[in-house]
Amino acid sequence: MADPRRIDLVRSPHVEAASHLPLLPGSNVAFINAMAHVVVTEGLADEEFLRERCEDVDPYLEFIRRDENSTEATAAATGLDPEQVRAAARLYASAPNGSIYYGLGVTEHSQGSTMVMGLANLAMLTGNIGRKGVGVNPLRGQNNVQGSCDMGSFPHELPGYRHISRPEVRAIYEDLWGVSLDPEPGLRIPNMFDAAIGGTFRGLYVQGEDIAQSDPNLQHVRAALTSMELVVVQDLFLNETARYAHVFLPGSSFLEKDGTFTNAERRLGRVRPIMPSKVGKDEWQAVCEIATAMGFPMHYDDAAQIMDEIAATTPTFAGVSLERLDREGSMQWPVNEAAPTGTPTMHVEQFVRGRGRLVPTVFVPTTETTNRRFPLILTTGRILSQYNVGAQTRRTANSTWHPEDVLEIHPSDAELRGIRTGDRVELSSRVGTTTVTAQVSERMQPGVVYTTFHHPVTGANVVTTENSDWATNCPEYKVTAVQVAVANAGRPGDAADGAADGAELVGSRPSGASR
């Protein structure tokens, strides 16, 4: 278990990690390189797998053997005990089956893509890919992230991960719909905001996402939303983004939806409505009506017809239909002529691209560094009882368990600042400032603080930066340099004992003075 915090999975009633590696935020790539370095230098690599299934092996081995990737050399970045890293690498490499599960947060670093390549390298090095019980498995952040990615939600791809520049792929849709498609990549979300402020991006249709709370550097997001000429929000609830909407379209819940959700093992599961949509329309019907009003008569009789079009246009979904899913149960894509009942395990004989390519994963640290003004690293995350920005769960009794976002801080960092559990503290970064309630916690390591982003009143993303993954532009939510201090009027009742002067509060209060 590698996580900066001692999370519940490290030890809970039914789970105990053999090893918890409390690495410093931002050092993932240094860590995974150290793991691979141990595997290679101690002769634990699967030579046969490398020879028969992989390519670019020698340049990678030359890179990973270098001293800069040793457990000792990377310790400065990771903060990890070299012996513990070696033990973890031996444990993974020598297991009959070794599988890697990684959280969504891995991608939320300026080297997120490099880290995923590093994980793939490690799996290939040890031959842990392409059979049951092994592999590199992302734990998705939302129930249907896989499904929406499969359907071409990237600005440069059509469904089935096919690049928009390919004329033969565009032709499939152009012939079917009688239109011509732009062959160029579109903008990613953060770049849409920049273009909106720049005046070249004037309208946005947001479905089921609360960008005015979930995206980094919220001041910037709000400036962008107010710059646009038309913001359409379609959601189950009037969320934070709806404040900026010119048009609000009601959405529907999963209990009213007809279709499929796809999980991280590429499994398409049926979603069936248990009740008709309360708003009298399915979400896809709203899309069809907007398209029709804009001059393209888009019509489907039902969700099954949409799935039929997906199957007809996307090779990996060729054998999928709602009727078949109803009859035979869930299926894992690709479902096509080569795999009529689906594909439980991928990369069995060879990888999709042929041979697995080993990529040297040089550790390039983030530019978001600590200094005297911002000496702590903030990492943000989610907890079990609230979902993402809480648009749905804050409206339920779950809020009894998690009524507000709290800042977890190590006892030594708290003591240095005169902070006790329950204090209101000011959390500042190079980008912004917010206030939040502190919770002193030994789950944290010194120098690292943590908070959730479930509540708009906290607005944890007011402090997160513009930094993003070099390849995907995924925001770096996991590494923000911050300072924490007791806020003015930080404690209930403080004003009465005359100690509410902010200047006196920071670090200078005799312990227990007010309680």
Partner 1 sequence: MNGQSVDDPNPAAPDLADPDLADPDLDAPTDADPVPDQGPPTGDDVDAQERQHQPADLRMGHDIARAMAHHPPERAAEEIATHLRKFWDPRMRATILARVDRGEPMDDLLRAGVELLREGEIDPSEVRKPSGG
Using CB under 8 A as the criterion, which residues of the chain lie in contact with partner 1 when the complex forms?
30, 68, 76-77, 110-111, 114, 149-150, 155-157, 160-163, 165-166, 184-187, 190-191, 194-195, 200, 217, 266, 316, 333-334, 346, 352-353, 360, 362-373, 375, 430-431, 465-471, 473, 481
Kindly state the smallest distance separating residue 38's Cβ from partner 1, in Å: 18
Contact 118/32 with Cβ under 8 angstroms?
Answer: yes
Scanning 54-207, the segments in alpha helix (DSSP H) are 57-65, 71-78, 82-94, 112-125, 145-150, 167-177, 189-198
Kindly state the smallest distance separating residue 81's Cβ from partner 1, in Å: 19
Considering the complex, state which of residue 82 and residue 375 has its C-beta at the smaller distance from partner 1: 375
Considering the complex, state which of residue 96 and residue 199 has its C-beta at the smaller distance from partner 1: 199
Considering the complex, state which of residue 7 and residue 378 has its C-beta at the smaller distance from partner 1: 378
Considering the complex, state which of residue 17 and residue 75 has its C-beta at the smaller distance from partner 1: 75
Tally of CB atoms within 10 A around 443: 16
237 vs 389: CA distance, rounded Å: 12
Considering the complex, state which of residue 254 and residue 470 has its C-beta at the smaller distance from partner 1: 470
Among 122, 47, 70, smallest CA distance to 92 is for 122
335 vs 341: CA distance, rounded Å: 6
Say which amino acid occupies 423.
D
DSSP track, 131-175: STT-EEEEE-SSTTHHHHHHTT-STTEETTTEETT-HHHHHHHHH
Tally of CB atoms within 10 A around 486: 24
Kindly state the smallest distance separating residue 448's Cβ from partner 1, in Å: 13
**Cα three-residue angle 70-73-79, rounded to 5 degrees:** 110
Kindly state the smallest distance separating residue 428's Cβ from partner 1, in Å: 12
Kindly state the smallest distance separating residue 163's Cβ from partner 1, in Å: 4
Kindly state the smallest distance separating residue 66's Cβ from partner 1, in Å: 11
Kindly state the smallest distance separating residue 462's Cβ from partner 1, in Å: 13
Considering the complex, state which of residue 130 and residue 334 has its C-beta at the smaller distance from partner 1: 334
351 vs 347: CA distance, rounded Å: 4
326 vs 5: CA distance, rounded Å: 42
The CA distances from residue 139 to 22, 144, 193, 465, in Å, are 19, 11, 28, 24
Give the CA dihedral 287, 143, 305, 150, nearest 10 degrees.
Answer: 90
Kindly state the smallest distance separating residue 296's Cβ from partner 1, in Å: 23
Among 71, 80, 88, 107, smallest CA distance to 24 is for 80
Considering the complex, state which of residue 174 and residue 404 has its C-beta at the smaller distance from partner 1: 174
Considering the complex, state which of residue 97 and residue 367 has its C-beta at the smaller distance from partner 1: 367
**Cα three-residue angle 245-246-250, rounded to 5 degrees:** 65
Kindly state the smallest distance separating residue 276's Cβ from partner 1, in Å: 35
DSSP summary character for residue 109: S
Considering the complex, state which of residue 409 and residue 474 has its C-beta at the smaller distance from partner 1: 474
45 vs 39: CA distance, rounded Å: 6
DSSP track, 406-433: EEEE-HHHHHHTT--TT-EEEEEESS-E
Considering the complex, state which of residue 389 and residue 474 has its C-beta at the smaller distance from partner 1: 474
Among 444, 376, 381, smallest CA distance to 408 is for 444
Kindly state the smallest distance separating residue 265's Cβ from partner 1, in Å: 12
